[in-house]
């Protein structure tokens, strides 16, 4: 997928068309997941499709000339945009971050940046 994004972004840039990739940090609750997950554990440890919709909206709202050829991770993109409450995206409200099922093929450098942002946005620890 990355070669397609880079190739198409370069090819379509002169026409003012942006090409980006969007990947979920965690499993996303879809009909396919519900069918494959008969016990329901994966569904309970996933996020709703709304997080992908919000991230896609953020990408599509940016000027094509300024934002193209990027590989976006849903939560990282939204945190960079100032979103700090992600509980609303959990299929089971109150699910801890560490209890969500991570998606496959996640980029280590993006995960490191995400960990830094989570720590910064959490604020000071209570005494």
Q: Which of the four pLDDT bands, split at 50, 70 and 90, describes residue 70?
A: very high
User: To the nearest whole number, what is the mean pLDDT of the chain?
Assistant: 92
β partners of residue 71: 21
Return d(Cα 105, Cα 27) in angstroms, integer: 12
Structural domains in the chain plus CATH codes = 2-107 (3.40.50.720)
Residue 126 has pLDDT above 60, yes or no: no
Band of residue 36 on the pLDDT scale cut at 50, 70, 90: confident
Q: Compute the distance between CA of residue 66 and CA of residue 86 in angstroms, rounded to an integer.
A: 26
């Amino acid at each position: 997928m990355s070669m397609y994004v880079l190739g198409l972004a370069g090819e379509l840039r002169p026409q003012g068309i942006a090409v980006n990739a969007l990947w979920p940090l965690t499993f996303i609750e879809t009909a396919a997941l519900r069918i494959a997950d008969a016990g329901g554990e994966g569904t309970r440890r996933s996020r709703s499709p709304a997080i992908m919709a919000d991230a896609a909206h953020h990408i599509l709202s940016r000027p094509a000339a300024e934002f193209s050829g990027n590989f976006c991770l849903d939560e990282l993109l939204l945190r960079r945009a100032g979103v700090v409450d992600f509980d609303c995206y959990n299929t089971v409200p109150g699910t801890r971050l560490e209890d969500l099922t991570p998606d496959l093929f996640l980029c280590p450098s993006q995960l490191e940046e995400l960990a830094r942002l989570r720590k910064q946005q959490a604020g000071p620890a209570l005494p």
